[in-house]
Amino acid sequence: MRPPRSGPPAIRARNWTAPGLTGACLLASCASGVPTVPKGPHGAAAVAALIVDGAPPTAQVETVGAPPSPECAWLDGEWQYVDGDWLWRGGRWVMPPPDCYYAPPVASWVSTTGTSVLYYVGRQWYREGGKKLCSKVPECSARKR
């Protein structure tokens, strides 16, 4: 595969996040009892969109167990575009930073003069309405016995 090209998202884009980008979940994980990370749109601090060769594979089904601690939240698995390939990053329990939200990866088909191009913006954590990036989000450790 050739390396992705950078480029600005075009105006007439059609967002595409399912079924491939964000993780599929079992009914139990989609139910209201599982704490999930706060989510929102990509903000002004977003990295530049990449032009990718094709859509990601279908999302993988994941089983969500109990959180390791009460302050943990579930982050669904997702396909990420890395070095010209789609790689699956499995779902996991994380500790969301205060005042931060998660923007999942987004792919948008853009029609330009008779052809379509797929733009991809990777996942990111934001604060202050998307104006700033959050620091690294720690994964939750296993329960202490």
Output b/e per residue, 44-80; b: 16+ Cβ within 10 A.
ebbeebbebeebbeebeebebeeeeeeebbbbbbbbb
pLDDT on residue 142: 63
Mean pLDDT (the chain) is 79
pLDDT on residue 10: 36
pLDDT on residue 135: 83
pLDDT on residue 38: 94
Beta bridge partners of 15: 108
pLDDT on residue 128: 81
Interior angle at CA 81, CA 130 and CA 41, nearest 5: 20
pLDDT on residue 74: 96
**Does 127 have pLDDT greater than 80?**
yes
pLDDT on residue 85: 92
Interior angle at CA 31, CA 55 and CA 144, nearest 5: 95
Q: Which residue is it, tokens 């009460």?
A: 70
CB 74 within 8 A of CB 34: yes
CB 78 within 8 A of CB 89: yes
pLDDT on residue 4: 45
Alpha helices by DSSP H, the chain: 27-30
Positive or negative, the Cα torsion across 127, 81, 56, 6?
Answer: positive
Give the tens place of pLDDT for each residue, 17-76.
434 444 444 333 444 589 999 999 998 888 889 999 899 999 999 999 899 999 999 999
